[in-house]
Amino acid sequence: MRLEQPPRRRRLVSLTPLIDVVFILLVFFMVASSFVEWQAFSVSAPGDDAASERDEAPLRLRVEHQGYRIDEAALTATELDERLQAVHAEDAERRIYLLVGAGVPVRRVVQALDAASAAGLSHVAVRRGEAE
Amino acid sequence: MRLPERPRREPDEGTVPMINIVFLLLIFFMVAGTLTPASPLAVDPAASEAGETAPEDPIRVLIDAEGRLALGDEVVDSREALRRRLQERLEDSPERPVEIRPDAEADAARLLEVMDDLRAVGAERAQLITRRAD
């Protein structure tokens, strides 16, 4: 026996406006949301207070256009990593002054901060290179 | 002759799976993305591997590639104006963290000037914001 199919109930509300609204919301969130993850470095200009606690001179790392320089010896990024690791092995609390030369973009300063952070050195201060 | 009635198709039957997908996409973008207020300057911070988590609800100082400055959502014309505005904001909420968001190509000298200004108005520590490297 073939049963008669029950009559389909008509939807009370049409779906089309709902879809429109949902699409608009979707487009809004796609355009307005960002997926970039932000990170922060705590930087401080070297003050007299912290510096005077330790009599040892901080490591002076010059940040220049072409690369880095410690005690007049030019370093590439890899050499800098090795050097900072050696410094960390010697004294993990060693302070570092990043001496920023004229016209150096922030990108290079961030690379130096990154290298110091990767080596485990956290006492980094940024100051002007000309101040020497 | 009476023809058997053709089954009537609801016109929007095929759209139901689509609505499901669109809803899922909507929920994904709502949950996974973060809504960011429009920035008054085009700033693309440098990428870095390391770093701490960025502070919540900070007082934000922006430096774009040309060295223009902005505080929060308004462009400031000079360092004096920046200092004045910062002072006002810090008086309102002294506990709020301050972050500096410089463009990767901005002159670092400009960054140092801004740090000097921050110190001058009493914000001892500032966070330098970078983008997590992919």
Q: How far is B4 from B24, CA to CA, in rounded Å?
A: 40
The pLDDT of residue B36 is above 90:
no
Domain ranges of chain A: 48-128
The pLDDT of residue B10 is above 80:
no
pLDDT of residue A1: 61
What's the CATH number for B47-132?
Answer: 3.30.420.270
Report the residue from A8, A43, A114 with minimal CB separation from B50. A114
The pLDDT of residue A46 is above 80:
no
Half-sphere exposure of A126 (CA within 13 A, CB side): 29
The pLDDT of residue A63 is above 70:
yes
pLDDT band (50, 70, 90) for residue B8: low
pLDDT of residue B63: 92
- Contact A131/B at CB under 8 A: no
pLDDT of residue A48: 47
Higher pLDDT, A131 or B124: B124
The pLDDT of residue A65 is above 60:
yes
CB contact under 8 A, A43 and B22: no
Q: Which element (helix H / strand E) includes A131?
A: none
Determine the distance in angstroms separating the CA of B92 from the nearest CA of chain A, rounded to an integer: 23
Domain ranges of chain B: 47-132
Overall average pLDDT of the B10-33 stretch? 82
Helix-then-strand count for chain A, H and E: 4, 7
Cβ–Cβ under 8 Å, residues B99 and B54: yes
pLDDT band (50, 70, 90) for residue A13: confident
Interhelix angle A106-119/B108-120, rounded to 10 degrees, is 70
Annotate B86-122 with b (16+ C-beta within 10 A) or e (fewer). Answer: beebbeeeeeebbbbbbbbebbbbbbbbbbebbeebe
Q: How far is A46 from B91, CA to CA, in rounded Å?
A: 24
Q: Which fold has domain A48-128?
A: Nucleotidyltransferase; domain 5 (3.30.420)
Q: For residue B103, give the chain A residue with the closest CA.
A: A106
Q: Is the ipTM of this complex over 0.90?
A: no
pLDDT of residue B44: 87
Highest mean pLDDT among A73-87, B57-71, B120-134: B57-71
Work out whether strand B59-63 and strand B69-71 pair parallel, antiparallel, or are unpaired: antiparallel
Helix-then-strand count for chain B, H and E: 3, 8
pLDDT of residue B103: 92
pLDDT of residue A128: 82
CB contact under 8 A, B109 and A23: no
CA distances from B28 to A19, A25, A30, A33, B19 (A): 17, 12, 10, 11, 14
pLDDT of residue A132: 46
